[in-house]
Amino acid sequence: MDYKKKYEEWLNADYFDTATKKELSGIADNEKEIEDRFYKDLYFGTAGLRGIIGAGTNRMNKYTVCKATKGLANYILKKGVKNPSVVIAHDSRHFSREFSEQAAALLCAHDIDVYIFPNLRSTPELSFAVRQTKSTAGIVVTASHNPPEYNGFKVYWDYGAQVSSPIAEELMSEINSISDMSVLRLYMEKDLKEFTNLHILGEEMDKKYIDSVLSLSVNPQSIKDAKDIKIVYTPLHGAGNIPVRRALKEAGFEKVNVVPAQELPDGSFPTVKYPNPEEADSFLLALDLAKKIDADLIIATDPDCDRLGVMVKLGKGEYIRLTGNQVGIILTHYIFDSLKNNGNLKENSLFVDTIVTGKMAEKIAKSIGVNTATTLTGFKHIASVIKDREAKGQHFVFAFEESYGYLAGGFVRDKDGVSASLLICEAAAFYKSKNMSIYDGLLSLYDKYGYYKEDLFSIVLKGKEGAETILRMMDCLRKNPPKSLAGLSITEFRDYLVYESPDGVPKDNVLYVTFEDNSWFAIRPSGTEPKIKIYLAVKGNSRDEADEKMDVFRASVKDLIEGITAS
């Protein structure tokens, strides 16, 4: 069915509600908008569903949410799972609660037990609850760090991680097989109160989760030794406010200051352009507060509290924002070095990173005697590696990816902004007790291991034309890789669609180019946003040399990519 016929169906069929039809009537004269809303079904990809809120098959709305949930229910029942159950959580975004309750009603109506929280919870607690309740699956309604017009629907499986191959493909097929939208209306009219197989999760689960987070502390004495450390925290209007503050308070941090204007949940995210701790603008209000109180550290979590951003005081009124790789480097060293020094580093300890993560953390882990496993970016891939390696007797300790995601311990199987907040604050306290900042600690690591520098830039390409351009760019570079760049010869060109990784890295649409001086860049379409992402890394003998090398390298890679875009 072409997009115009789909539009007409949604506009006229009696199983679509009046509000939906009114919204669609309002775009009757906007052919491009109609096409964008209906040229495809919202794709169930890297992080489940994610899209702009609105009416249409390519939008997040109660129909696309119920279709995805119906597909999940069908899939679980076809699997023949005994006593199936699903945990549901959501963040502060617009319609998150409504979508969660609609999903809960549909699952309950299929005789699947549902555990749901009474209000918003973080994504890592959802992962934790799936494992604690021994549920078949989990759902979290969130669009993570996307702009306020977005929402999403992520599915987790019984080991607490987002669904991955082959489950993801099987589930996608089940969802795509649902073509009769009229069936979904039956479930939208259900009242949750009528179901006896609906269970409310609350303080008991919260306490178990926070206690598990606190168990990750590797050097609690450092918090006592630096009681005067001042921390500014912003949850960016999201789900992190209560769990992050609770974890820090119970760990012993006494001077945690929350940004008042960003403390309470608000799906409009009125104080930021994007509720993303990767963006410098997200820290503006927190930075103002930090300067007023002379804080040592600023931390920020995204709306579903799975990502963490960090700023560190350099001097009076001067702060620097750390990259995801830099925070990962600090935590890798702090965790493993502390465990080794206090005699708690187990044999076969495991560190996990990704193919687009900087190489310095792996070098640190190796120097401490820790095994490293590398996989595709995305925590569903990291979780899969953890599961496989633990089955082989390895002991997982820590993982991170450059996009501000960190995971410690074995009780969650996704990135965790709550535990990462605790650990980075503890590391800051450790260094403060030595009259150092964590940035001073980072510089000492560069001095010891080498001056690694990473960068990232993206090209945003929206809509149907943008998606086609992204595919064309990847195809063009795949067929015509450069032979040299910035005066450097290429030593390896990996196409992960065909590359046979000795570490068992799955196939994916990623291109990875290595040069004679071991600098590299990688390019991949984003799995969650309409953009193509380009990762770069160099190494120098000093900070200045690394900066200079990156400036030249970045400019050369940008010219290459922009030339492909324009062709």
Q: Which residues are catalytic?
A: 144
* Helices 167-176, 62-79: inter-axial angle, 10-degree rounding: 120
How far apart (Å, rounded) are the C-alpha atoms in residues 520 and 516? 9
How far apart (Å, rounded) are the C-alpha atoms in residues 79 and 73? 10
What Cα–Cα distance (Å) separates residue 191 from each residue in 4, 45, 82, 110, 198?
34, 30, 25, 14, 11
Q: Which residues contact 368 (CB under 8 A, 6 or more apart)?
A: 336, 337, 340, 345
Give me 38's structure tokens: 């209906």
Determine the residue type at 469: T
How far apart (Å, rounded) are the C-alpha atoms in residues 518 and 532? 23
**Contact of 462 with 530, CB cutoff 8 Å:** yes
Paired sense of beta strands 349-354 and 395-401, if any:
parallel
Q: Which residues contact 32 (CB under 8 A, 6 or more apart)?
A: none
3-state SS assignment for residue 69: helix
Considering Cα of 383, then 387, then 392, then 398, what sign does the dihedral take?
positive
**Contact of 261 with 465, CB cutoff 8 Å:** no
CA atoms within 13 A on the CB side of 371: 17
Strand partners, 414: none
Considering Cα of 155, then 161, then 167, then 172, what sign does the dihedral take?
positive
Q: Beta strands of 328-460 (E only): which ranges?
A: 349-354, 371-375, 395-401, 405-408, 451-460
- Burial of 97 from C-beta contacts in 10 A (0-12 / 13-18 / 19+): middle
- Measured CA angle at 212 (ends 208, 218), to 5 deg: 160
How far apart (Å, rounded) are the C-alpha atoms in residues 324 and 339? 22
